[in-house]
């Protein structure tokens, strides 16, 4: 019996079936008024019967409004087939994709949402046509990944965040997770590209640089401490970063590779480490080797300290140990007091304004040390005079060059700028320990390249980056900032794409 019963019939049947019998009795039992029951029936139940009894359309409930943009997906029917020029374009089903447009623009708000795409097909040749919406979503997908990679670059190479923290940051800003493996691979990839960019620096036209400052820094990667060789010039541009395994082989190789093209410094500034001069020769370079004055001053300070420490006693043997010690301390205090004005003079020689007399002043200190009228010629004092003399002989000429150039051309007297770069790598070594040594070098190259493009917001070089100070030609380099240099330029999406 599948006959369809009209709605009016159903309502009439129900009204008669629900005959109001025994109303008074029921009212008494429930202690309500009979009038109320008649009111409910006539005013509430009867009018609602039509609504209750009508047939529902079969199938599942409709989707709530706003979630799907089917209407929008169907309006962009392509006019002609780009394959055969046919004009009969037919719908060919729909499919769901991630709404990349939303994820890119308001991912933090909506998270991963889907949108429906209408597939179109040419009725003549069967070619599948790409709808406007599909193009738009594909562009947004590329943009999203690019932007996420840029954020990862910032997080890893500037903020120094770990892989896990980077993952949290990406999900927070862009509403979708990326895997730890992806972040690791991407970090290595960018590091490798940064290394290649550093290697290209010497090929770019630039302002002539006269100095090659070299130093090693020792970030701790895991259990072992490794050496990282760093080359910068007087403009503070980091020109090379390399992990050093075998000093005698890797350092000359690093120096050889960095000095070429448009980078031909004439001075090699290092600390007092004795092997650096030899490594420079081994790299077939003949730069004038200069020593950082901070290290030279430290060396002088140490020589004076040694002289005080080496004080000997010539007292009768019988004296008790404690008494001997007291006498020795007394003698040391006296010598320290005697030497103090001489050490002050030696340090003053390095101060600004004394450049032209620096070496002369140091020679003066030597002759004062030898003057018996000024200072008692004990064994330790004689030794100090001898060491100071050798020191002045060894470093005098290069010291003269260094201070003279500092006045004339404003070039550095210290490797301080280099040491501050080294300090830059320190916090990164904590997160770099997950790398093998080879890739750690690339990672630090990424940190270095970021630093090279960093425009300082304070300090001596406020408002400029090292790349700008060294006047590296950006056309030759083919990049204007860190991200474009490593192939992560801003995604190009026209603003109108967001209002479609």
Closer residue to Zn ion in complex, CB, 90/333 = 90
| Contact residues for 318 (Cβ-Cβ < 8 A; gap 6+) | none
The distance of closest approach from Cβ of residue 82 to Zn ion in the complex, given in angstroms and rounded to an integer, is 8
Q: Is 80 in the site for Zn ion (CB under 5 A)?
A: no
The distance of closest approach from Cβ of residue 81 to Zn ion in the complex, given in angstroms and rounded to an integer, is 3
Neighbour tally for 63: CB within 10 Å:
9
Among the residue ranges 86-94, 200-208, 351-359, 462-470, the one whose residues contact Zn ion (CB under 5 A): 86-94
- Interface mask (CB under 5 A) for Zn ion, residues 479-498, using x and -? --------------------
| Contact residues for 141 (Cβ-Cβ < 8 A; gap 6+) | 98, 100
Tracing tokens 């390095």 back to the chain, one arrives at 350
The distance of closest approach from Cβ of residue 80 to Zn ion in the complex, given in angstroms and rounded to an integer, is 8
The distance of closest approach from Cβ of residue 480 to Zn ion in the complex, given in angstroms and rounded to an integer, is 44
Among the residue ranges 81-89, 98-106, 107-115, 489-497, the one whose residues contact Zn ion (CB under 5 A): 81-89
Q: Is 120 exposed, middle or buried (0-12, 13-18, 19+ CB in 10 A)?
A: buried
Closer residue to Zn ion in complex, CB, 82/379 = 82
The distance of closest approach from Cβ of residue 78 to Zn ion in the complex, given in angstroms and rounded to an integer, is 10
The distance of closest approach from Cβ of residue 169 to Zn ion in the complex, given in angstroms and rounded to an integer, is 46
Closer residue to Zn ion in complex, CB, 81/493 = 81
Closer residue to Zn ion in complex, CB, 125/180 = 125
Among the residue ranges 75-83, 253-261, 389-397, 407-415, the one whose residues contact Zn ion (CB under 5 A): 75-83
Pick the closest to residue 369 from 384, 350, 358, 387 (CA basis): 384
Neighbour tally for 12: CB within 10 Å:
12
Pick the closest to residue 146 from 486, 454, 500 (CA basis): 486
For residues 295 and 286, give the distance between their C-alpha atoms in angstroms, rounded to a whole number. Answer: 22
Q: Is 23 in the site for Zn ion (CB under 5 A)?
A: no
Closer residue to Zn ion in complex, CB, 89/311 = 89
* CB distance 100 to 144 below 8 Å: yes
Among the residue ranges 78-86, 206-214, 291-299, 467-475, the one whose residues contact Zn ion (CB under 5 A): 78-86
Tracing tokens 């003949």 back to the chain, one arrives at 286
Angle at 369 between CA 365 and CA 370, to 5 degrees: 120
Closer residue to Zn ion in complex, CB, 50/85 = 85
For residues 303 and 62, give the distance between their C-alpha atoms in angstroms, rounded to a whole number. Answer: 90
18, 23, 26, 84: residue in contact with Zn ion (rule CB under 5 A): 84
Closer residue to Zn ion in complex, CB, 125/407 = 125
The values of phi and psi at residue 90, to 5°, are -115, 155
Closer residue to Zn ion in complex, CB, 84/376 = 84
- b/e per residue, 440-462, with b = 16+ CB within 10 A? bbbbbbbbbbbbbbbeeeeeebe
What stretches of 117-239 show up as alpha helix (H) in DSSP?
Answer: 132-157, 163-174, 180-200
Q: Is 83 in the site for Zn ion (CB under 5 A)?
A: yes
| Contact residues for 20 (Cβ-Cβ < 8 A; gap 6+) | 37, 38, 41
> How many residues belong to the site for Zn ion (CB under 5 A)?
8
78, 86, 396, 491: residue in contact with Zn ion (rule CB under 5 A): 86
For residues 223 and 185, give the distance between their C-alpha atoms in angstroms, rounded to a whole number. Answer: 23
Closer residue to Zn ion in complex, CB, 125/208 = 125
The distance of closest approach from Cβ of residue 135 to Zn ion in the complex, given in angstroms and rounded to an integer, is 18
Task: Restricting to residues 92-131, name those near Zn ion by CB under 5 A.
Answer: 122, 124-125, 127
11, 73, 81, 152: residue in contact with Zn ion (rule CB under 5 A): 81
Q: Which residues bind Zn ion (CB under 5 A)?
A: 81, 83-84, 86, 122, 124-125, 127
């Amino acid at each position: 019996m599948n006959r369809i019963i009209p709605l009016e019939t159903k309502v009439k049947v129900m009204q008669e079936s629900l005959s109001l019998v025994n109303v008074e009795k029921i009212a008494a039992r429930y202690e309500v008024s009979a009038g109320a029951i008649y009111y409910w029936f006539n005013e509430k139940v009867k009018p609602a019967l039509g609504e209750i009894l009508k047939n529902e359309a079969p199938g599942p409930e409709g989707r709530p409004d706003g979630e799907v943009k089917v209407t929008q997906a169907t309006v962009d029917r392509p006019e002609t087939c780009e394959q055969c020029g046919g004009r009969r374009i037919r719908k060919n089903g729909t499919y769901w994709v991630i709404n990349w447009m939303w994820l890119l623009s308001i991912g933090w708000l909506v998270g991963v949402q889907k949108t429906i795409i209408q597939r179109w097909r040419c009725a003549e040749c069967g070619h599948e046509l790409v709808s406007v919406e599909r193009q738009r979503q594909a562009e947004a997908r590329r943009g999203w990944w690019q932007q996420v990679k840029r954020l990862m670059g910032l997080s890893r190479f500037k903020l120094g965040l770990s892989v896990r923290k980077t993952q949290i940051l990406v999900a927070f800003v862009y509403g979708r997770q990326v895997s730890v493996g992806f972040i690791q691979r991407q970090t290595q990839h960018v590091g490798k590209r940064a290394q290649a960019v550093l290697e290209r620096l010497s090929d770019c036209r630039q302002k002539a640089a006269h100095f090659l400052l070299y130093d090693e820094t020792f970030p701790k990667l895991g259990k072992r401490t490794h050496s990282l060789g760093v080359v910068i010039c007087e403009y503070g541009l980091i020109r090379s970063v390399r992990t050093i395994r075998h000093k005698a082989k890797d350092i000359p190789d690093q120096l050889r590779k960095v000095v070429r093209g448009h980078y031909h410094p004439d001075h090699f500034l290092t600390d007092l480490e004795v092997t650096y001069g030899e490594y420079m020769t081994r790299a077939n370079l003949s730069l004038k080797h200069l020593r950082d004055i901070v290290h030279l001053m430290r060396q002088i300070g140490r020589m004076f300290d040694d002289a005080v420490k080496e004080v000997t006693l010539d007292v009768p043997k019988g004296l008790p140990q404690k008494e001997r010690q007291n006498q020795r301390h007394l003698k040391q205090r006296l010598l320290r007091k005697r030497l103090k004005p001489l050490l002050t003079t030696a340090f003053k020689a390095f101060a600004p304004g004394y450049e032209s007399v620096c070496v002369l002043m140091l020679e003066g200190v030597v002759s004062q040390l030898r003057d018996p009228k000024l200072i008692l010629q004990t064994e330790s004092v004689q030794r100090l005079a001898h060491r100071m003399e050798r020191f002045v002989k060894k470093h005098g000429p290069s010291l003269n060059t260094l201070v003279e150039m500092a006045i004339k051309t404003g070039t550095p007297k210290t490797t301080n700028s280099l040491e501050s770069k080294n300090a830059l790598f320190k916090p990164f070594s904590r997160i770099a320990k997950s790398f093998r040594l080879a890739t750690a070098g690339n990672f630090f190259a990424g940190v270095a390249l970021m630093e090279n493009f960093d425009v300082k917001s304070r300090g001596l070089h406020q408002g400029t980056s090292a790349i700008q100070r060294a006047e590296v030609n950006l056309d030759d380099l083919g990049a204007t900032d860190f991200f474009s240099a490593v192939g992560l330029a801003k995604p190009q999406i026209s603003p109108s794409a967001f209002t479609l």
